[in-house]
A and B are shown apart, each in its own frame.
Chain A
Amino acid sequence: MGTRPGAGKLGQPLLTVENLVKHFPIRAGVFARTVGFVRAVDGVSFEIRRGETLALVGESGSGKSTAALAILRLQEPTAGRVVFDGRDALKLDRSELKRLRRRVQIIFQDPFGSLNPRMTVGGMLREILSVHDLAHGAAAQKRVAELLEAVGLHAEDAIKYPHEFSGGQRQRIGIARALAVEPEFIVADEPVSALDVSVQAQVLNLLADLQERLDLTYLFITHDLSVVRHIADRVAVMYLGRVVELGDCDSLFSKPLHPYTQALLSAVTVPERGADRKRIILTGDVASPVSPPSGCPFHPRCPHPDKDEICRTEPPSLALHGAGARAACHKIGPAAGGSGPKS
C-alpha cells in the first residue's frame, strides 16, 4: 500500500517478466498429433518492485492465472524470461528452485480445495517448517502459534481440521501457510473472490497489514477492479493472453488509456445511487485463445470510433504514453486518452 519507510531495497525490481509465453497444445486423433495451441499467455512483460503490489487484472480466459503459474514454474513456460532478484528463475536446478520456493509463495482462490482435509492446521504448518528445515519440535509449535495469531486465528486452532473453519478463516489458514516460510514475494490468485463482502474486507485488510509488517511484495490476481483500487500500487490489464495496459493504479483508474480498460472500468458497478457514470456496453464475446483475432486481440469488440484496417492486421505493442503508463492500442495519439469514463 504505497511507499513505506524502512523497507530495505524498496523500489528495486524484485521480479522481472519478459515476453512470457505459455501455449497449451491441443491434441487430436489416434496419434495425438498437435493440431493447434491454446495461446493462454502470449508475450507478457512486466516488473514488480520490492514492496509494491502489482495487480494483474482480466476477465476469465485472459490468461492471468496461467501467467502466475508460469512465473512460479508450477506450469513450465513455453518461452520468455523470469528474473527474480537478479537470477533467471527458469534456469534454476531442483535444489535452487526449492530455495527460490521459500522466497515465493502462492495463495489460491479456493482455500478449501488447497488444504489437506486429513491434516490438522498445526500438522500442516509443522510439515512446511520441517520440509524447509526452519523449525522442529517445540520451536515449530511456537512458530505455528505465532503464524496463526499473525493471521487473526488462535494458537488453539492448530488442533482443528480445515472443515471446522468458515470460508474466511480457511483463507486465513491459506495465508498462514504462505507466511510459514517467511517469503518475500506472494502471488495471491483471486484470494477474496469466494468470500462474502463483510469477510472479504477482513481478509483484504489482513493482507495490507501483513504487507506493511513483513515488507512483502504482492502479485495480486483478480477480476474485481474495485478490490484492485484498494490494494494495488500498479495495475496490468490482460486481454486474451496479453497485457493491454500497464500503469500506476491512480492514473489507470482516473485516466484509462486502452478502450478495453475504459469499458472494463465503466462496467464495474458502484453501490451508490445517482452515480452518473458513463457506461460503455461492449458487444460480443471474448474470442477464443485457440484462434485469437489477427491484429489487435480486442478489435472485434472494440468500440473505438476510429477502428480501422491497422487494428485488424497489426498487433499493437505496449507503448509508453506519458509517465509510467503503457497501452497497446494503435488509436492512442500523443495527446489522446482523455476520453475515458469518469469514475
Chain B
Amino acid sequence: MPAPLLRVDDLRTYFHTADGLVRAVDGVSFALSPGETLGIVGESGCGKSLTCLSLLRLIDPPGRIEAGSRIRLRDRDLAEASEAEMRQIRGNEISMIFQEPMTSLNPVWTIGDQIAESVRIHRRVRPAEARARAIEMLRLVGIPNPEQRISSYPHEFSGGMRQRAMIAMALACDPSVLVADEPTTALDVTIQAEILDLLAQLQSRLGMAMVFVSHDLGVIAQIADRVLVMYAGQVVESGPADAIFNRPRHPYTEGLLRSVPRITTRLSRLAVIPGGVPSPRRWPPGCRFHPRCPYAWDRCQDDSPPFAEAEHPSRCWLEIEPQRHVGGWTTTAAPEREV
C-alpha cells in the first residue's frame, strides 16, 4: 500500500455560537492514497460537507478547526498552514467541486475566463497560454466545440455542462486531491451517469485522489474504493467499499442499506430507521446512534463505543458483544421523533 497522500487525524470542527457549542465534525480520521477514491456517506446533518470544507480550510467563524486536528497533505499540515499558504494550496494541490455549480460560477464572467483565472493564479503563464489551457480542459471534460464554448457565460450552459465546467476549473492545475461534495445530487439520473463516468475516466487518466461525498449509497457503491460512514459528526464505520456494502458492521450502515429502495427488487415495505438525525447542539450521550438503534442496550446509553484502528472498524459495542446482534429492523411506519 502506497504512503498516504492525505492523512486526517482527529479532525474537529466546532461552531462557537451564542447558544452554545456545536460539535459538527467531532473527531474524524482517515487516510487517502494517491489515485484512490474515498466515499463519505451519511444523511444530512452528519458532518460530511463540513469535513470537506475543513480539508480546504473553508470554515468561517464562528466555526473553527479545533487545536489538535491534523490535516496532512504530503508533508504539510493544512490545519496549521497560514492563510497565504492555503491560497497557494487551494485550487492547486487540492480542489473542490460542489453540488450546485451555478452558485460557484461567477455569472458575469465567461466560463473560459474563470478557468484561465485559476490557472493564472497558480502558474506563471501568459494569458494566451491560460486560454489554451482552458480550451484543453473544456475538451477534456467533454464539452463540444470548446473553442466557441469558452466565451459562453454560465447561464448559457445546462446543469450537466456547468458541472463539467466546474470540474474543468477544479482540475486545471492538476491537483493531487479532488474533493467532490455531492457533485451529482442536483442532476438528473442520465446526466449523473455521464458525470460519474467522466470523473472515473479523468481519475484514471490524471491519477488524482478523490474524496467523494454523497448521501446516495448507490452513487458511493459505484465510485468509491473505500468508504467512511458518518453519523452525528463521527465516523461510525470505515473500510473497503466491498466490505461496507456486502458485510456492513455498524447498525446505522445496516439500517441505511435496508431502508434504501432498490431498483433491482420490489418490497412491499422498506426497513425503517426510527427517528431522525439528532441536533449537533446536543448529541445523545453514550453511542450517538443508540436512540435509533434496534440493538441498543444499557451500555450503549452510558458509554461511547471505541473505534479501533483496523481494516474495517465499527464504532459499536456489538464489536465487543456480538451475541447481541439479534432481531433488528422493523418496517412499521414509526413516526420520526426528536431523539
- Identify the A interface with B (CB < 8 A): 1-2, 59-60, 151-154, 166-169, 172, 196-206, 208-209, 223-227, 229-230, 249-250, 253, 263-275, 279, 281-283, 285-286, 343
A1 to B268 alpha-carbon distance, docked (Å):
7
Binding-face segment, B53-61, B65-73, B165-173, B239-247:
B239-247
Given A59-B188, A281-B193, A198 and B276 contact (CB-CB distance below 8 Å): yes
- How many chain B residues have a CB neighbour from A under 8 Å? 54
Binding-face segment, B19-27, B109-117, B215-223, B301-309:
B215-223
A46 to B329 alpha-carbon distance, docked (Å):
38
B338 partner residues in chain A, CB cutoff 8 A: 166
A250 partner residues in chain B, CB cutoff 8 A: 266
A196 and B215 contacting across the interface, CB-CB below 8 Å? yes
B339 to chain A, nearest CB (A): 10
Known: A196-B215, A279-B197. 18 other contacts (CB 8 A): A59-B191, A152-B333, A168-B276, A196-B276, A199-B276, A199-B336, A201-B270, A201-B271, A205-B269, A264-B190, A269-B196, A269-B221, A271-B245, A271-B262, A272-B221, A275-B221, A279-B193, A285-B158
**Selected A-B contacts with CB under 8 Å, 19 pairs:** A60-B188, A152-B333, A166-B276, A167-B276, A196-B215, A196-B276, A197-B215, A202-B272, A209-B333, A223-B188, A226-B262, A264-B190, A268-B218, A272-B245, A272-B264, A281-B193, A282-B194, A285-B191, A343-B263
B261 and A204 contacting across the interface, CB-CB below 8 Å? yes
State whether the Cβ of B88 lies closer than 8 Å to any Cβ in chain A: no
Of all chain A residues, the one with the shortest Cβ separation from B44 is A196
Binding-face segment, B145-153, B252-260, B317-325:
B252-260
Of all chain A residues, the one with the shortest Cβ separation from B257 is A271
Given A269-B219, A272-B245, A229 and B189 contact (CB-CB distance below 8 Å): no
State whether the Cβ of B284 lies closer than 8 Å to any Cβ in chain A: no
B268 and A202 contacting across the interface, CB-CB below 8 Å? no
Considering residues B44, B192, B272, which has the most beta carbons from chain A within 10 angstroms of its beta carbon?
B272
A263 partner residues in chain B, CB cutoff 8 A: 190
B224 to chain A, nearest CB (A): 9
Within the complex, which residue of A199, A208, A265 is in contact with B263, where a contact is CB–CB below 8 Å?
A: A265
Q: What's the A-B contact tally at a CB cutoff of 8 Å?
A: 155
State whether the Cβ of B93 lies closer than 8 Å to any Cβ in chain A: no
B317 to chain A, nearest CB (A): 21
B221 and A273 contacting across the interface, CB-CB below 8 Å? yes
B219 partner residues in chain A, CB cutoff 8 A: 269
A59 to B159 alpha-carbon distance, docked (Å):
13
A283 to B190 alpha-carbon distance, docked (Å):
9
A283 to B268 alpha-carbon distance, docked (Å):
35
A230 and B261 contacting across the interface, CB-CB below 8 Å? yes
A151 to B335 alpha-carbon distance, docked (Å):
8
Within the complex, which residue of B193, B222, B255, B263 is in contact with A198, where a contact is CB–CB below 8 Å?
A: B255
B256 and A197 contacting across the interface, CB-CB below 8 Å? yes
State whether the Cβ of B209 lies closer than 8 Å to any Cβ in chain A: no
Of all chain B residues, the one with the shortest Cβ separation from A266 is B193
Within the complex, which residue of A198, A224, A273 is in contact with B259, where a contact is CB–CB below 8 Å?
A: A198
B270 and A230 contacting across the interface, CB-CB below 8 Å? yes
B217 and A271 contacting across the interface, CB-CB below 8 Å? yes
A168 to B277 alpha-carbon distance, docked (Å):
11
State whether the Cβ of B332 lies closer than 8 Å to any Cβ in chain A: yes
Within the complex, which residue of A202, A204, A271, A274 is in contact with B336, where a contact is CB–CB below 8 Å?
A: A202
A183 to B257 alpha-carbon distance, docked (Å):
34
A171 to chain B, nearest CB (A): 9
B43 and A197 contacting across the interface, CB-CB below 8 Å? yes
A167 to B277 alpha-carbon distance, docked (Å):
11
A221 to chain B, nearest CB (A): 15
Given A169-B336, A269-B222, A226 and B161 contact (CB-CB distance below 8 Å): no
A218 to B277 alpha-carbon distance, docked (Å):
29
Of all chain B residues, the one with the shortest Cβ separation from A165 is B336
A199 to B158 alpha-carbon distance, docked (Å):
31
A166 partner residues in chain B, CB cutoff 8 A: 276, 336, 338
Given A198-B255, A226-B263, A169 and B335 contact (CB-CB distance below 8 Å): yes
Given A152-B334, A205-B333, A230-B266, A267 and B215 contact (CB-CB distance below 8 Å): no
A168 partner residues in chain B, CB cutoff 8 A: 276, 336
B210 partner residues in chain A, CB cutoff 8 A: none
A197 partner residues in chain B, CB cutoff 8 A: 43, 215, 217, 256, 259-260
